[in-house]
Structure 1
Amino acid sequence: MGTNEVTRIVTDEEKREAKNFNIFDLPDVPTGLPPHLELQRTRVVCKKDSNIHPTAITFSGAYSSMGVDNSVRLENFSEDFKVDVISLTETDMVFDMIGVHAGIANAFRRILLAELPSMAIEKVYVANNTSVIQDEVLAHRLGLIPIAADPRLFEYLSENDQPNEKNTIVFKLHVKCLKGDPRRKVLTSELKWLPNGSELIKESGGSTTTPKTYTSFNHSQDSFPEFAENPIRPTLKDILIAKLGPGQEIELEAHAVKGIGKTHAKWSPVATAWYRMLPEVVLLKEFEGKHAEELVKVCPKKVFDIEDMGQGEVKAFPSFLQMSLLAFE
């Protein structure tokens, strides 16, 4: 007797299903992280003795066995990341970064400190200094004075470049304390911007050469529309530079150029950049009616707010805005 073999033909649809098969698509296979692992991945929990889970798990395959991709992808980061500006003034900015762990927040902090360009005094040409402050110390103090100038309007000055109106800002300081006068303070308000460039003459070996200054400006900087209504100046007018006694004098030129904080701290555009974790307050049970109103009143930090549930009923809930403000107290 012969053996009848049955051959099954696999359809194209079955081939596509087999190619796209994923075990986590099966109904009996759990997906996602258990609550305790999700808490560990997304929260820093404050305990009485110490905080737990302060370090983020950055390995992309840490939860691959559970079907969770822990890698940082640009598409997901763009969707989850959010910035809320809490307050903004000329000197301070407070903002919330939502959707990032502490490592990314710290990276932003380091970028603010070291990677953003600004203008700062790099070279100081001293013509006369009879004060008690040495030339090197005086130059260092001048370098740390913040300059109110948009660095995007200037170019970087390399070793082979000639200082000009596009890469250099020149300030002049000439102050003296006459004999018989009391000691006087030298403040940043006495730094005068020279939009036409340097006025100091370079020393030359021959007397027939044409006098040259330390810069080569082709145009005056105050002719640019960016500086017409907003002249370049020190950010603050009351920073102490030096103190002069009777008969003492300081005459110098200070040249500011573009740089970043990674090169020197004087180019760091922020005095202090820091971050704190955003607190999250969770109610273990619901507070309604009079209990909700009492909870809002007794909380010293005003973290809770009242939500109108309709028909005269109210419920207490943690206010995200108040928790955000609590982080900066």
Structure 2
Amino acid sequence: MAPISILSEEERRRKIVNINSETVTNTTSSYFPGHYPGEDHTWSLSKFKNSFRVRFHQNETDNASFSLIGIDASIANAFRRILIAEIPTLAIEYVYIEANDSVISDEVLAARLGQIPLTASRDGLRWLNYIPRPPQGMLGEDSGKPEDDREPKDNDTIVLKLHVKCEWKDGKKKGAEGTPEELYEHSNVYASDLVWEPQGRQEEMVTEKEGGGVRTTNPRILLAKIRPGDEIQMVCHAVKGIGADHAKFSPVATAAYRLMPTIDIVKPILGTDAKKFARCFPKGVIGFEQVTKEESQQKGSGYEGNAGEKKAVVKDSMRDTVSRECLRHEEFQKKVKLGRVRDHFIFSVESTGQIASDDLFIESVRILRGKCRALKGQLADIMR
């Protein structure tokens, strides 16, 4: 038998952000020292270890969904920002064009090449150095030259070559009828046409046993279309960068979080009202159960005389999108309370394919830990 009320008033007041028909209330966290008399809410590592939990809902190579329970919104948002803008990845930065007979201009084709996600072995990507970009026009600190004149090295630059020439297929000639695939050879230029040329120690350090070395995450990305006699020949230099430098370096297509929804049915919703109530939510959020004989005999329960009738119960509140639709109907007034748990964050991370989605979160933890160590060191210097 599912309970009618999920949370007590005290629990709701402390942990739940209230979602009302027109407003959102109780948004501020009250767990800080001195707020509740006789209660100690000072932060401690042992309390954090006991309360913090990670729960995975989906774990695929390119898509992960998991919950972080027991942390503050500022920490959850730090992870989100790091995922988007601070995890280094590989992308084409410099394009040296020798021939481009396609209808796409040089600068547009170079921009398209920069948007292709590149990947390699996990250890290989870590071996490559990330060199922070100075603001445009400033000199590089390492060489004393403008950034574009920095000499590439095997541990910071990947060389990719693209050379494609379109020709007539055997037996075909000008004026023949048919589709481009039937008439031409190499009329479509794909990401798979980019060929990695290892430099120095790269073949040893970057190559993995399965999948080869540096490669595109999706070989079927279309770059350009050319016709017989047209040729594209260029050399590309890929470097590591972060999303804060340029969006092409961001390793995620989506990195977002939402608070865990709560649906608290405080008064019975029965029969046709229960069916209507279920339609106010996404499929799977609300289910039905029969009122038991014991419930129908309890005075003041709201089930008196309704044994065997269907009642609405919450099956899976995580599926809810908090649309407030149920609050717009008069028959549900004062029967349901909507909210969100302020310390339960449901993350959705969709990788572009360069780094596995669950590894991305581990990388964000590593980067945040490094930031904390740096801040701790700076504070120690100040206190000396």
Instruction: Give the distance between the partners of 2:12 and 2:106, measured in 1 at CA.
Output: 58
* Partner residue, 2:220: 238
| Higher relative contact order structure (alpha carbons within 8 Å, sequence separation ≥ 6) | 2
Give the root-mean-square deviation of aligned CA atoms: 3.9
Alignment CA distance shift 1:70-1:262 (3 Å): farther
Instruction: Give the distance between the partners of 1:246 and 1:71, measured in 2 at CA.
Output: 73
Conserved? CA contact 1:120–1:146, under 8 Å: yes
Conserved? CA contact 1:130–1:250, under 8 Å: yes
Residue 145 of structure 1, CA deviation: 0.9
For residues 12-31 of structure 1, the aligned pairs below 5 Å read none
Instruction: Give the distance between the partners of 2:99 and 2:13, measured in 1 at CA.
Output: 64
Q: Which of 162, 167, 171 is equivalent to 1:173? A: 162
Residue type of the alignment partner of 2:195: K
**Structure 1: 5+ residue runs without aligned partners?**
1-33, 198-216
**Structure 2: 5+ residue runs without aligned partners?**
1-7, 133-139, 143-149, 169-173, 175-182, 296-310, 324-384
Bigger strand fraction? 2
**Residues 1:265 and 2:247 aligned together:** yes
* Partner residue, 2:12: 39
* Partner residue, 2:317: 323
Instruction: Give the distance between the partners of 1:41 and 1:263, measured in 2 at CA.
Output: 40
Conserved? CA contact 2:97–2:235, under 8 Å: yes
* Partner residue, 1:147: 118
* Partner residue, 1:253: 235
* Partner residue, 2:48: 77
Residue 236 of structure 1, CA deviation: 0.7
* Partner residue, 1:278: 260
Instruction: Give the distance between the partners of 1:184 and 1:262, measured in 2 at CA.
Output: 36
Residue 108 of structure 1, CA deviation: 1.7
Alignment CA distance shift 1:141-1:275 (3 Å): same
Instruction: Give the distance between the partners of 2:165 and 2:53, measured in 1 at CA.
Output: 54
Instruction: Give the distance between the partners of 1:171 and 1:88, measured in 2 at CA.
Output: 32
Aligned residues: 264
Normalised TM-score (structure 2): 0.57
Residue 317 of structure 1, CA deviation: 6.4
Instruction: Give the distance between the partners of 1:236 and 1:82, measured in 2 at CA.
Output: 35
Residue type of the alignment partner of 1:50: T
Alignment CA distance shift 1:117-1:146 (3 Å): same
Instruction: Give the distance between the partners of 2:227 and 2:38, measured in 1 at CA.
Output: 75
Conserved? CA contact 2:261–2:322, under 8 Å: no
User: Which string of whole-angstrom CA distances, capped at 9 and with x for unpartnered residues, describes residues 70-118 of structure 1?
Assistant: 6655443333222211112221111122223544332221111011111
Alignment CA distance shift 1:67-1:186 (3 Å): farther
| Bigger Rg, structure 1 or 2 | 1
